[in-house]
Amino acid sequence: MARERSADDWPDFTRTARLQFWSLSPAVIEAFAEVFPEFSRFPQRPSATLDVCPIRNDPKRWRLKVAGYRAIYQVRHGRPVVEAILRRMERTYQDFELHRKRV
């Protein structure tokens, strides 16, 4: 199972996002763990191995796509801060918006 590496290799998480992350299947956790080093260094730079893009209608937030999941995050002081990890469905971003209003 993936373990958090150095603070520079993994993004920061909100409490909710950390719980969501560790509740994922081991295969999905490993898929995220593989991209975290590059993601932590270049959170706003898409590449062949990193599928990131800004969220439409929300200029502060971005999404990282991995293994059928979306990590919704902001970049603060040059570091990604993951706010939610959601399974990709038609309502993923609507559900995130509802969650954000409750918190």
Q: What is the pLDDT of residues 7-64, one digit of tens each?
A: 679 999 999 999 999 999 999 999 999 999 999 999 999 999 999 999 988 889 999 9
Q: Please report where in the chains the tokens 């199972």 appear, as a residue.
A: 1
Does this model's pTM top 0.95? My answer is: no
Which domains, from first to last, does the chain contain?
A: 12-102 (3.30.2310.20)
Query: Helix (H, G, I), strand (E, B), or coil: what is residue 69?
Result: strand
Q: Are 83 and 90 in contact (CB under 8 A)?
A: no
**Token duo for residue 13:** 């998480």
Instruction: Report H helices in the chain.
Output: 15-22, 26-41, 92-102
Q: Are 2 and 29 in contact (CB under 8 A)?
A: yes
65 phi, psi to nearest 5 deg: -105, 125
